[in-house]
Amino acid sequence: MPELPEVETVRRGLAKRLTGQTIVTVRLNRPDLRFPIPPDLPGRLEGRTIASIDRRAKYLLVRFEPKGADAPVMIVHLGMSGRILFDDGGRPPDPHDHLVFTAGDGTRLIYNDVRRFGFVLLAGESGLAAHPRLAGLGPEPLGDGFDTAYLRGRLAGRMTPIKSALLDQKLVAGIGNIYACEALFQAGVSPSRLAAAVTGKQAGKLVEAVKDVLSRAIEAGGSSLRDYVQTDGELGYFQHSWSVYGRQGEPCPTCPGGRACATGVSRIVQSGRSTFYCHRQQR
């Protein structure tokens, strides 16, 4: 599920219910995720009270009381298939429930990840910015640091397709495959255009489209693939707003007459990942 809008949706659900809660017990069922869960994680978090739950790019950052330079920060990444779920009792055992927290009010919080591309790590507050997973991340796409001048500067000289550049987390952090496709469509920019060949006008449209698509997706509670549900059990519904992603062969939503493109939405593979676009409206 997880690009920036999905992670932000999860963050909001967690923050609402867990801020101020104390972690009573932590059960580590399976540590071998993308990176191993630190064996001392339960011991370091049990008895701690959650101060805040924040987000950086696609990472969740769970902070604890008392705040300070040596306070622990739990870094959570959901990979491709990670979920965070509340269990108020009655959840049947699942082999993919890798980490289970029990809060002071009895709430159980479960980190579930079928493919185990995600990970859960611990850092210290003072070393967070330099942490290997976070250092080098580009600006937040919804922040002021991501503007036309910045994007133009970073695209200059790059001989990779603009689609691949948007997925580069060092350039801008949080865009994934779905929202890269959607933003390029909304901006009218071909995913195959070389980054260096993106005009200033197009860069401006791209910045605007990225911010707009991500903002609308967050408002919709993210996109739900398969049976994915948010922490509160609700389904995100932005997948119904996709213009091109997953719509190979369907008519473009905004081509005049619906079927103006003979082929409809096209699918190509770039850097090993599917790209969906309209060859008529994206140049």
Partner DNA sequence: CACACAACCTGTCAGC
Partner DNA sequence: TGCTGACAGGTTGTGT
**Contact residues for DNA, defined by CB under 7 A:** 1-3, 6, 34, 57-58, 77, 79-81, 95-96, 114-117, 132-133, 158-161, 164, 167, 169, 176-178, 195, 222-226, 228, 271-274
Of the candidates 267, 261, 262, the one whose C-alpha atom is nearest the C-alpha of residue 281 is 261
Terminal Cα distance for the chain, rounded: 29
> Cβ atoms within 10 A of the Cβ of 188, count?
15
Q: Is 8 one of the catalytic residues?
A: no
In the complex, minimum distance from the CB of residue 115 to DNA, in angstroms, rounded to a whole number: 3
> Closest CB to DNA among 103 and 222?
222
- How far out from the chain centre does Cα 194 lie? 25
Residue nearer to DNA on the CB measure, 82 or 103: 82
- Has 27 been annotated as catalytic? no
**C-beta of 4: minimal distance to DNA in Å?**
8
Tokens of residue 151, six digits: 């994007």
Select 25 or 271, whichever has its Cβ closest to DNA: 271
Q: Which of 48, 55, 58, 63 is catalytic?
A: 58
Nearer to DNA among residue 81 and residue 243 (C-beta) = 81
Catalytic residue selected from 30, 158, 273, 280:
273
The yes-or-no answer on residue 3 being catalytic is: yes
Residue keyed to tokens 């990779």: 160
Nearest distance from C-beta of residue 64 to DNA, angstroms: 23
Q: How many residues does the chain have?
A: 283
> Measured between alpha carbons, how far is 87 from 92 in angstroms, rounded to an integer?
10
Residue 7, sorted as left (phi over 0), alpha (psi -120 to 50) or beta, turns out to be: alpha
Q: Report how far residue 175's alpha carbon sits from residue 140's, in angstroms, rounded to the nearest whole number.
A: 9
What are the structure tokens assigned to 61, written together?
């950052």
CB of 105 to DNA, least distance (A): 28
Backbone angles phi, psi at 104, to 5 degrees: -60, -30
Q: Is 211 a catalytic residue?
A: no
Helices (H) and strands (E) in the chain, counts: 6, 10
> Which of 35, 87 has the CB closer to DNA?
35
Q: How far apart are CB 211 and DNA at their closest, in Å?
A: 17
Phi first, then psi: give them for residue 51, nearest 5 degrees. -90, -40
Q: Which are the catalytic amino acids?
A: 2-3, 58, 273
